[in-house]
Structure 1
Amino acid sequence: MTQGSARRIFVAAMATETNTFSPIVIDRTAFEESFYAAPGMHPSTATLCTAPIPVGRKVCAENGWDLIEGTAAWADPAGLVSKQAHHGLRDEILAQLQAAMPVDAVVLGLHGAMVAQGCIDPEGDLLARVREMVGPDVLVCAELDPHSHLTAKRVSAADFFVAFKEFPHTDFVDRAEDLWALVVGRLDGDIHPVMSTYDCRMIDVFPTSREPMRSFVDRMIAIERDDPKVLSISAIHGFMAGDVPEMGAKMIVVTDGDVPYGDAMAERLGQELFANRGKHMMPTMDQTEAVAVAMAANTGPVVLADMWDNPGGGTAGDATVVLRELMIQGATGVAVGTIWDPIAVKLCMAAGEGAVMPLRFGAKSAPMTGDPVDALIKVIGVSADAAMVFGESVVPFGPAARISLLDEGGNEVGIEVILNTVRAQSYDPSLFAVMGIDPLAQKILVIKSTNHFYASFAPIATQVLYCSAGKPYPNDPATNTYRNVRTDIWPRIDNPFAQDD
């Protein structure tokens, strides 16, 4: 502990989500394009995994503590992080911590599903190095995204973790506040947080916008409120596109000094989660059915989620399977947001607003994303720095171009597409509005997101359709071509707990 009454707390963030099947390497530029803040330069609003920094400012100001801010970096999900980017950010943060010593606590914002070239567990590596630097008595903790890998190395290095409870992740600021409440209680000596974990031995997707996960999360919150022994509960969903040995769903229970109690509760909740395996995923339909259902709707907007071409899950976001089906079925009143194609954007920006031109776009990144679209188009608008909102966050996706598809006679066919340069999933209707498209005036809104869109789009939608189109993302854990994921896990086997009986 530092001398005197003022505590010294170090805070930093290093985060991305790695789809190990994605061919898109994350370099330093990818972090800088998505979000990078040097020490002391973080804005007052949070950006997902960086929430511990702005929340920490308020908490430390209220307590008269010194907050030493390190680097905050977030890259939109893609493939492996380059070795240079990983080591550069890691060592940058560690050097800042070394300069800040001595400290009473280290609070980190991590995603938890990062994989780098030559390092399968970057967060575990960072936490272990932090622990070695500060010693066994200094508090080390972090906020996590639930789509993470809870490795033994991380659990060993940290005192506790708090993960977002909601998917869509609407609660990242609330959970950062929970994390800091535990920090304050621990440093003031009012509580003694200890962490219990349980391996659910399953791979699944757990949207909290529907049952049975909605009730499960509500129950976690109720236990935290009503059980004086329990300080925090988190469900780690896992990330099925991360081919790592310790991937899968796990439970975290943080109790006030009662490890056996926490162990028992983590196992009970973990078994409840396992009992509902296969029931969590939202119902899906293929592109032919989804487009037909959307076209048959009497009113719009119908939100059609191209759920597996989700840049938030590490894909490029350039699949054209759904767009092609819309064209085949003759859909009108359609706005597609977005298709990632930096080259097509440059061509549109060079041509300028109002230009009519032939354009090839989309489906360049990987197999099973459809074929590039060759179309006569009109450039309706361009933006050098387009961005949408996600809660309090600002999410860039520009430079971007809004185009309208034309028939051979040069007439608009009723389908508009937003082409973007910075990959980002479709979080919010502001994605369309910023490009001059009124989302409420459309019959069909096509978006690229698995479920993060739901909180913002569901209130304006007459229907929400989840479309499983192509396979740009490894979305079937029973058949995905894993090389590192364990075999004794559902659905790779029916009951991984049978050997325990």
Structure 2
Amino acid sequence: MRIFTAALATETNTFSPIAIDRRAFEASLQAGPGQHPETPTLCTAPITVGREVCAREGWTLIEGSASWADPAGLVARATYEGLRDEILAELRAAMPVDAVVLGLHGAMVAQGYDDCEGDLLTRVREIVGPDVLVCAELDPHSHLTAKRVAAADFLVAFKEFPHTDFVDRARDLWAIAVRALKGEVRPVMSVFDCRMIDVFPTSKQPMRGFVDRMMALERSEPGLLNLSIIHGFMAGDVPEMGTKVIAVTDAQPAAGAALAEQLGRELFALRGTFMVEQVDEKVAVDQALAAPRGPVVIADVWDNPGGGTAGDATVILEEMIRRGVTDVAVGTIWDPIAVQICFAAGEGAEIPLRFGAKSAPFTGNPVDKRVTVKRLVRNAEMRFGESWAPFGDSAWIHFDGVDVILNSTRAQSFDPSLFSVMGIEPTSRRILLIKSTNHFYGSFSKIATEIIYCSAGKPYPNRPAETDYRKARRDIWPMVENPWALRP
């Protein structure tokens, strides 16, 4: 067997002012054919897992390019078309192939392309023809379009949020592909539209139990190969935004459709109950100060670079400064200009510095302080599951009992190692202020005495009923209370 694999992924917040060009991919991950590192970067796991599988099976794996950019705004048209065309040229050179296995995100939007993944998959199908297996792994925070379903034989999404299972789901993807290539199964997809958009953390109920049940069904239902929930991505203003269920069966589309609808209607019945309680910055600081011991983690959930925002909001930090809170470590505030100034000044320097709140309205005000530059680290990285997440050249600054990590490559706060790599012992601080919606939970919950989810400012469009969408459908909850009552 000859199998082609490649990856092209980013998550696009169409409301974010931060445009993505090729340099954004270079800052996160851009690897040419055969140059992908041993460890995956989220959506590139099909490449590293493919190496294991093809070595075991004695098959030939032909690696194409792999590109990942941290979430932000629209991808420049020339950047997307250039990266896409590189993969397509590599595929043409690899022909003939028996299968194409891709690592995609599913919420990538470029100038002129509302559906990048659908565009890429369609062009892949045109090259390989109708009889070659085409499959891909997706992030659940994506848009499942009709174009993608038509072009792919099957799609598999991560089940967990936080996405701790991207390698396991890549193994599921490859396991189905191997069985299909050996003639043991004929995978077909059935899709159900839940007519809703919501946030589904699996670190709490009811989504924890829902995902556990999905995995139990995969083990027990005859002919069922995989179940995936496409959560949807509410910050993506595209026509097919919303939550959907995928059932992949062994040539049983009717049974798959019935199961997908059953699960989808159960999800709809639970709408609005999935996300954790969120408080404003004043209540968050009150609760953190009232905790008997630390570290207390305050998660700035909507200034999350993992959702495409800048990660430079200062709303919560300003509240702490106003109240004279000390023994605080902030990880991170994105400010490449401030980082440059700190590197120029050098470790140990005491300098006046303005940082933060440069990217957009409703993110607070820039902070002006006389700071001490405690430590400077080039190309800093933190752990994220089985992978590493870069956050670029970074500076640890200190003022008034507060430590702040300034970074030059946007990245959400995945793991406490973001503090330790900078020289800050996270467990020694009373309060840790981080920027992430839920990916932080798996690692930070191990050291936190309490976790407070804070909704501060408005850097992210997190209320779909109020969001000024131009393209997204309006016939889903919460835009309408009962979409099932609408005429078709």
Same fold by TM-score greater than 0.5: yes
State the partner residue of 1:410: none
Query: Which residue number in structure 2 is paired with residue 228 of structure 1?
Result: 222
CA offset at residue 330 of structure 1? 1.5
Post-superposition offset of 1:431: 0.2
Which position in structure 2 is the counterpart of 1:70?
64
Of the structure 1 ranges 446-455 and 327-336, higher mean CA displacement relative to structure 2 is found in: 327-336
Q: Does 1:468 align with 2:462?
A: no
1:441 aligned residue = 428
1:421 and 2:408 are equivalent in the alignment: yes
Residues 125-174 of structure 1 show CA distances to partners (whole Å, capped at 9, x for unaligned) of 00000001100000000000000000000000000000000000000000
Could you say which residue in structure 2 is the equivalent of 1:3?
none
CA RMSD of aligned residues (A): 0.8
Q: Which residue of 2 aligns with 1:478?
A: 465
2:240 aligned to which of 246, 253, 257: 246
- Is 69-78 or 36-45 further displaced after alignment? 36-45
SS in 2 for 1:186: helix
The alpha carbon displacement at 1:364 in A equals 0.3
Q: TM-score, normalised by structure 1?
A: 0.97
Equivalent residues in 2 for 1:162-311, closer than 5 Å: 162-311=156-305
The whole-number CA distance in structure 1 between the counterparts of 2:150 and 2:416 is: 42
Residues of 2 paired with 1:83 and 1:192: CA distance? Answer: 36
Which 4+ stretches in 1 moved above 6 angstroms?
A: none
Tell me, in whole angstroms, the C-alpha distance in 2 between the residues paired with 1:270 and 1:35. 35
In structure 2, which of residues 469, 482, 486 is the aligned counterpart of residue 495 of structure 1?
A: 482
Deviation of 1:111 (Å) = 0.2
State the secondary structure of the residue aligned to 1:398: strand
Mapped partners of 1:363, 1:43: distance in 2: 34
Partner of 1:29: 23
Matched, 1:334 2:321: no
Question: For 1:357-368, what aligned pairs fall within 5 Å after superposition?
Answer: 357-368=351-362
Distance in 2 (CA, whole Å) between partners of 1:399 and 1:258 is 52
Query: Could you tell me how far apart the structure 1 residues matched to 2:168 and 2:58 are?
Result: 22
Q: Kindly indicate whether residue 391 of structure 2 is the aligned counterpart of residue 404 of structure 1.
A: no
Counterparts of 1:205 and 1:36 in 2: how far apart (Å)? 30
Distance 1:386 1:263 in 2: 46
Give per-residue Cα distances to partners, 1:397-451, cap 9 Å, x unaligned. 120000011xxxxxxx211100000000000000000000000000000000000
Q: TM-score scaled to structure 2, two decimals?
A: 0.99
Q: In the alignment, is residue 350 of structure 1 matched against residue 344 of structure 2?
A: yes
The structural deviation recorded for 1:499 is 3.1
1:153 correspondence with 2:140: no
Deviation at 1:229, TM superposition (A): 1.6
Superposition deviation, residue 500 in structure 1: 6.4
Shift of 1:44: 1.4
Whichever residue aligns with residue 8 of structure 1, its letter is R
Q: Distance in 2 between matches of 1:239 and 1:84?
A: 24
Please give the per-residue CA displacement for 1:360-395, whole angstroms capped at 9, x wherever unaligned.
100000011011011111111111111101012111
CA deviation map 1:265-294 (0-9, x unaligned): 000000000000000111000000001110
User: Which amino acid in 2 is paired with 1:47?
Assistant: T
Q: Matches of 2:379 and 2:10 in 1, distance apart?
A: 22
The count of residues paired between Structure 1 and Structure 2 equals 488
Please state if 1:41 is matched with 2:35: yes
Any unmatched runs of 5+ in structure 1? 1-6, 406-412
Task: State the distance in 1 between where 2:390 and 2:55 align.
Answer: 30
- Opposite residue 105 of structure 1, the aligned amino acid is A
Unaligned runs of 5+ in 2: none
